[in-house]
Structure 1
């Protein structure tokens, strides 16, 4: 059983290992009219990824905490459109990297307004100058170690919505806060799961929807020329808070915007 903390009551203790070493992970959960459309996916990922880090948490426990948060922040304004953030750490105590025996996890819950939705006609995106290095042991985990994304986010100026990050091999992997889908002549392409810093829950949802709709959806490396070349029929970014976002301009080049992915995936479908 995790020690539960609420951000509006003071937050985590100062000896928390998430604060000291980034020893933990987090989820950001969109709330619409008192419901969490992607909740099942978020709980699946947090339990699975916590297990990979050796942190024990039960799915029913997390579900109960979200229900507590819904009750705590209930009301027409508070839960109309907001975001819950769950930060799960290995716990408190111990000096140095080595965790102490018998530690209980800490779970911090916070609540904030939802960010504005991007324009339906698409967003402006560029390539980041910050390389993204993914340790295979931690690939896909939404861990507290997000320094590369923080540095890349500093490149977001003016009306630039996102920057796409490449790995040392030159493959475009993901945005600072989004996953990537490309519609090509022969189907849909998204970077492989094991290459990702974060395997988003919306990415999982979109892949399921595409395959259920009979669309060809492949996980394979993506190069800059795949996005800017003649075979590209559209570039989309996915994020569980913002949904499916079409890209209208990449590195100063206009891209086709058909909006087909949002139509196929109906991202507002409830999956609780």
Structure 2
């Protein structure tokens, strides 16, 4: 049975999410009682919980989102807000070993929306901290985000985002965003198997681009692509801030206007 915790101060000290990062989370943009990309968030949470062998019912998660909308809509007085769901395996087990029976915890918290990025484009830079991805955990938004925490120490206040690279030097993702490049007539995004987090916005945009007749290729992206003559734009995406064009990357001015933000509107997915 799922235990819903609406006050993080009530999380048991023995919770495996706290002790070992044994769990995963979703960060959902809300407008009133409705959630952006609701179905995709639910799909990912259920699918990735199954990969971690944490039992959870989609209907329970869906009901929690609905209840959160009812509980917190008035607190934000008509402005968008953010709902965070943290699903852990619960307590128990001997050390790292799993408990014989699992009673997951679902921790619910809310916050205000971060500032909306400048539509003319943002400044980004490269992180010096490399990103390594265990192929068995690729794409899962687990509670273990220590590499992103360490990379975030490098923010100076000038950058909207820091882009992390793999050990081969390829651009993989931002500390909190996925990447899309427009290269000639193609859209490029790193392969899902190379990602620490395969975002729901990433999936939504791939589907929208392909439905609109665009070619989308999942391949490794070297940093040198931003200087290629047929490079047409770099975008950062996540389900809270949406689609963010980059106008300067590592001190290099980039073209803005590849058109990704005109192809899709995630706010149309409100449920």
Do both share a fold (TM > 0.5)? yes
Query: Contact between 1:181 and 1:188, CA under 8 Å: does it hold in 2?
Result: yes
Question: 2:132–2:167: 8 Å Cα contact kept in structure 1?
Answer: yes
For residue 159 of structure 1, report the CA deviation from its aligned partner. Answer: 2.0
Q: Is the 8 A contact 2:36 2:239 kept in 1?
A: no
Q: Which residue of 1 aligns with 2:56?
A: 57
The residue that corresponds to 1:196 in the other structure is 195
TM-aligned CA deviation for residue 103 of structure 1 = 1.7
Aligned partners of 1:133 and 1:231: how far apart in 2? 29
Match of 1:45 in 2: 44
Q: Could you say which residue in structure 1 is the equivalent of 2:5?
A: 5
Greater than 4 Å deviation, 4+ residue runs? none
- Give how far 1:74 is off: 2.5
Q: What displacement does 1:78 show?
A: 5.2
Q: Give yes or no for contact 1:27–1:142 (8 Å, CA) kept in 2.
A: yes
Give the corresponding residue for 2:134: 135
SS of structure 2 residue aligned to 1:160: coil
SS at match of 1:107: strand
Aligned positions, number? 271
The residue that corresponds to 1:118 in the other structure is 117
2:76 and 2:47 mapped to 1: Cα distance?
A: 33
Work out whether 1:145 is the aligned partner of 2:144.
Answer: yes
Gaps of 5+ in 2: none
Shift of 1:95: 4.0
- Of residues 77-86 and 245-254 in structure 1, the stretch that sits farther from structure 2 once superposed is 77-86
1:27-72 Cα offsets, whole Å, 9 max, x none, are 0000013210211110000000000000011111100011111111
Mean Cα deviation higher: 31-40 or 45-54:
31-40
Q: Is the 8 A contact 1:31 1:79 kept in 2?
A: no
Q: Using structure 2 for the length normalisation, give the TM-score.
A: 0.97
Say if 1:234 and 1:256, in contact at 8 Å, map to a contact too. yes
For 2:75 and 2:87, locate their aligned partners in 1 and report how far apart those are by CA, in whole Å. 28
Which is worse superposed, 132-141 or 147-156? Answer: 147-156
**More displaced 10-residue stretch of structure 1: 220-229 or 242-251:** 220-229
SS for the counterpart of 1:269 is helix
Is residue 155 of structure 1 aligned with residue 135 of structure 2?
no
CA RMSD of aligned residues (A): 1.3
8 Å Cα contact 2:55-2:102 kept in structure 1? no
Q: TM-score, normalization: structure 1?
A: 0.96
Which stretches in structure 1 are left out of the alignment for 5+ residues?
Answer: none
The 3-state SS of whatever aligns with 1:131 is coil
Paired residues of 2:186 and 2:214 also in contact (CA < 8 A): yes
What CA deviation, in whole Å up to 9, does each residue of 1:95-126 have, x standing for no partner?
41001101210110001101011001000001
- 8 Å CA contact 1:30, 1:84 repeated in 2: yes
Contact 1:172 1:222 survives alignment (8 Å): yes
Q: Shift of the alpha carbon at 1:197?
A: 0.3
Partner of 1:136, secondary structure, is coil
